[in-house]
Amino acid sequence: MRRLFLILLAAGPAFFSSALLADNYPSKPITLVAVFGPGSASDTICRVIAQPLSVALNESVIVESRPGANGALAALYVARSASDGHTLLMATNSPLSVVPFLMKNVSYDPVKDFTPVTRVGSFTLMLVVNPSLPVKTVKELIEYAKANPGKLSFASANTSGIVAGETLIHWAEIDMLHVPYKSSPPAIQDVLAGRVSMMFTDLTTGLPHVRSGALRALAVTRLQRSPLFPELPTLDEAGVAGFDMDSWAGIVAPAHTPPTIVTKLNKELRKIIDDPDVKAKLGNVGFEAFSSTPKEFGDFIKVQLDKWGKMVRDAGIQPE
């Protein structure tokens, strides 16, 4: 009993300190870092969530975009920030699932350097082409590419776009030029202008242009059709058997963020993400919102590392 008393006595300050941190949190404005630039899906989702989170925590939530290196710059910035819950990353599969397999030297560990808070939802990617291209289906696109080797190009604004484009090239055995961009808005502008033939883009960025007729959509990248665009076939239905790419978003904090702060953030964020009005607002920009526990999100991140690593290898992409 004496030993137990001493253990509890020693642990007491830690418990008190942790509880005090949660009571005083947040003690200053929170920065929510987007991995891509203004106008991107990542930035848009941050801004939809930031306002109600600011109200819930009674503190300012500032959205800061840090594009570059497919989200690696933003991830590294947050990984090196103080573990006090005041700097958060709107993580996506780009920096946490794919970059470790696309870059030879990554200065952060996607699992060890972050504390999962909650999933936010999933992006659906769709393949869009400039309407001047004489194709209306994926089959016609592949046939045209084979008849015109080297004539087509595809833009990428993130790792999902890179892996999707290279997978299609590898599977269909076609020749296309890859044109990388730091973010979706400038990439899609060049597709709209006809300077690049096509791209795999999130619905957030691409859907308004498809609805206006400025771009032509051919397929979505997941095995199931998107409820946001149900008339559009999947790549699997279009003949690219088994093609299944689920791009995701979730909020993480730096490693060693106190559990009491993570619990508080998770509680408030889940209320926001699962709110019907927020879901509808995110749905209107092509994003399917849902939340999770920190553990569920942490387990998901580990599974996604394996899944995306295999996709990168299967597409024949070499790390640079």
285 vs 216, higher pLDDT? 216
Task: Convert the pLDDT of each residue in 10-67 to its tens digit.
Answer: 655 544 445 555 679 999 999 999 999 888 889 999 999 999 999 999 999 999 999 9
Q: What is the pLDDT of residue 213?
A: 96
34: Cβ–Cβ under 8 A, 6 or more apart, which residues? 40, 42, 43, 45, 46, 63, 64, 65, 66, 67, 74, 90
Confidence of residue 8 (pLDDT cuts 50, 70, 90): low
Average pLDDT score over the chain: 91
118 three-state secondary structure: strand
Share of the chain above pLDDT 90, in %: 76
- Domains in the chain, please, with CATH? 27-123+246-314 (3.40.190.150), 125-220 (3.40.190.10)
pLDDT, mean of residues 309-320:
90
Q: Pull the structure tokens for residue 228.
A: 């946001």
Q: What is the pLDDT of residue 320?
A: 85
pTM attached to this predicted model: 0.85
pLDDT, mean of residues 104-113:
95
Provide φ and ψ at 202, rounded to 5°.
Answer: -70, 155
> What Rg, from alpha-carbon coordinates, does the chain have?
21
Task: Convert the pLDDT of each residue in 220-229 to its tens digit.
Answer: 998 888 888 8
